[in-house]
Amino acid sequence: MAVPARATLSNTAALAFQGGIGVVGLLAIWLLDIPLRSGSLGMLQYLAFGILGAGITYLSLLLLTRITWLFPDDLSSQMQALYQFASSYSWPVLLLLCLLAGVGEELLFRGALQGWLLQHTGPWTALLAAAVVFGLVHYVSFTYFLVATGLGFVLGGAYQLSGSLEMVMVWHAVYDMFALYCLLRYPHWFGIKV
């Protein structure tokens, strides 16, 4: 089936943007001479711990969203917008976007930003600052900022404790895959009417 030119441009632009984040992260790491931490885990362990961490993180977030007073904004309207965005892409494009986001955003936020801050401040300052910047970059509303900052804190903490940027990349990518799968497959969980 032929893909309309507009959809192709949209796919290309989205993929280029997510890939560009990784390039910016790598350039920052190289230009600022930031040492990348790499844990002593093997590839299967990176994958296993990343998948397990993503699953636990996503399940925890789902449970927390049931506590309505915890989030000041209406999450269902934000999820509706995210649903509209995600449903405009095919699954192969969504999976590639998740992979690029996991690798690229972790290179930028954990590798470059948190790594640079670790050279100039303490570990808690580096972790908190990188998490807040991660939340601000994902800002859609105050609630979404809180969720993204919390996720940034979890990913940054996992990086800090494990020393494995690779594991955190897997964690992030798989978390995004879980989130998109659940959003598109079970929109009623988020108050979305299809």
| Contact between residue 164 and residue 38 where contact means Cβ atoms under 8 Å apart | yes
Which of 86, 93, 99 lies closest to 180 in space, CA to CA?
A: 86
Q: How far is the CA of 39 from the CAs of 54, 85, 101, 119, 120, in angstroms? A: 18, 35, 21, 18, 22
- Does residue 1 register a pLDDT over 50? no
The pLDDT tens digits for 56-71 are: 999 998 888 878 777 7
Predicted confidence at residue 143, as pLDDT, reads: 83
Predicted confidence at residue 39, as pLDDT, reads: 66
Predicted confidence at residue 128, as pLDDT, reads: 98
The pLDDT tens digits for 44-103 are: 988 999 999 999 999 998 888 878 777 767 677 778 888 888 888 999 999 999 999 999
- Does residue 2 register a pLDDT over 90? no
Predicted confidence at residue 5, as pLDDT, reads: 44
How far from the centroid of its chain's Cα atoms is residue 116's Cα?
20
